[in-house]
Amino acid sequence: MADARRVIGSGVIALCLLVGGCGAGGERSSVRADVQAALDRRAAVVLGREGDTYDVPLAQWSYHLDSVDAEGDRATADARLSYRVRGYDAVPVTSARVVRLARDAGGVWSVVSEGPGQGAGQQLWDQGRVGVVRGAHSLVLGVGQSTDRLTDFAALADKAVPAVSDAWGTAWARKVVVVVPASLAGMAELLGSSADSYRGIAAVTTGETGGRAPADRIVVNPEAYGTLGDVGRQVVLTHETTHVATRAHTNAATPLWLSEGYADWVGYRGTSRTPDEAAPELRTAVSEGRLPAALPTDADFGFGGDATRLAQAYEGGWLACRLIAERWGEDRLNAFYKAVGTHGKRSGAVESALTTVLGVTLPQFTEDWRTYVKEQLA
């Protein structure tokens, strides 16, 4: 059973931490030292080492002061926050932050507010009180969500993790962090982008490709997600969990038709969804005589553009991976995915992997895929 708890209130973020202040007219170096000390004290309280104890799933929380601009009894600091979620982050997550401080008549500095730095997205706790539900293979963090709803996400993620391991293998962390903001606008603020970029997108996975990702997070759009049925919700969570599992083998060499198509293949694997049901936009195109001439390009996957083109790109990538799994076997599909990533750069990656793993050329595979699409959707 998931353990639901409420953590990190907005009051923590607005917490004023008092430290010994500079004397009147203190030098810039003294102000900098006092500001860093204030940030250190703030970090200690958040972690529960001093003051009130907060039920926070954190193993690390610290600030590195980059610069401070002080004028009289006011200061603005640019800092880097590093934090690590206990049991989930192998290395710290780093985020640029702007911290505003004030100094009282006794020369004591206090933190007034903290928010995202230039070019950085919000952190979930910037948006309000955070609720936490712990599942068997998941940690779900939410704002403006009931405990029951967060528990539902944990249940879906707990099914997704073993499903991904069954398809991909167990050489990954086998646990995920799911972030559920209150709205589409909240999702966009977390990602540092516009809401229009993610309208209609049920979830995305953040993290660095090609290695140990410090911040793999499945970020949910609660508005789009809420329109899905039970199967669709599970497919989405399994799809996004696949991105977490394959992260170390996904890099600049990996085309989106492969990374997104593979994630959809794992998501639909084990369901009863047929190509007609799972690829409705591509089915319509085929029925109208508009069979794709080539595999989807990365540009076809652009958010915020043509929704039909985006849907067809996902469906085409899924059918390409489904073709490989059916004709060459699931082990070869996995080997092909890894071989593409091993190449390290885009040029020649797919061509080389097709030849060495599947024994076909790109033109041959493309024609096989076009035939397969037509057969499955005609």
Residue 138 is predicted with a pLDDT of: 96
| 209-213: long-range pairs with CB below 8 Å, 24+ | 209/247, 209/250, 209/251, 209/252, 209/254, 210/247, 210/248, 210/250, 210/251, 210/252, 210/341, 211/247, 211/248, 212/90, 212/91, 212/248, 213/244, 213/247, 213/248
Q: How far is CA 346 from CA 294, 339, 341, 352, in A?
A: 17, 12, 9, 11
How many domains, in total, are found in the chain?
3
Residue 86 falls within a domain, yes or no? yes
Where does a domain end: 200, 218, 249? 249
> Looking at the predicted structure, is the pLDDT value of residue 49 above 70?
no
In the sheet that holds 217-220, the strands lie side by side as 3-7, 130-134, 138-143, 176-180, 217-220, 203-206
Whether the CB-CB separation of 83 and 43 falls below 8 Å is answered with no
Where does a domain end: 249, 283, 309? 249
> Looking at the predicted structure, is the pLDDT value of residue 6 above 50?
no
| Cα torsion angle, 204, 176, 171, 329, sign | negative
Range from 30-44, 49-63, 175-189, 317-331 carrying the lowest mean pLDDT = 49-63
Within this chain, do residues 282 and 313 fall inside the same structural domain, yes or no? yes
- Please state, in angstroms and rounded to a whole number, the distance separating the CA atoms of residues 92 and 59: 9
Where does a domain end: 249, 265, 294? 249
Tens digit of each residue's pLDDT (9 = 90 or more) over 100-130: 999 988 887 889 999 999 999 999 999 999 9
Tens digit of each residue's pLDDT (9 = 90 or more) over 310-344: 999 999 999 999 999 999 999 999 999 999 999 99
Residue 3 falls within a domain, yes or no? no
Residue 223 falls within a domain, yes or no? yes
Count the neighbouring beta carbons within 10 Å of the beta carbon of residue 282.
27
Q: Which CATH number is 139's domain given?
A: 3.30.2010.30
| Helix, strand, or coil (residue 99) | strand
| Strands 138-143 vs 176-180: parallel, antiparallel or unpaired | parallel
**Amino acid in the structure at residue 62:** S
- Please state, in angstroms and rounded to a whole number, the distance separating the CA atoms of residues 58 and 45: 12
Q: In angstroms, how far apart are the furthest CA atoms of the chain?
A: 80
Residue 358 falls within a domain, yes or no? yes
Tens digit of each residue's pLDDT (9 = 90 or more) over 261-284: 999 999 999 999 999 999 999 999
Within this chain, do residues 223 and 280 fall inside the same structural domain, yes or no? no
Domain region containing 37: 12-118
Within this chain, do residues 281 and 337 fall inside the same structural domain, yes or no? yes
- Please state, in angstroms and rounded to a whole number, the distance separating the CA atoms of residues 120 and 270: 38
> Looking at the predicted structure, is the pLDDT value of residue 82 above 90?
yes
Q: What is the mean pLDDT of the chain?
A: 89
Element (DSSP H or E) covering residue 141: strand 138-143
User: Which pTM does this prediction carry?
Assistant: 0.88
Residue 4 falls within a domain, yes or no? no
Residue 19 is predicted with a pLDDT of: 36
Residue 213 falls within a domain, yes or no? yes
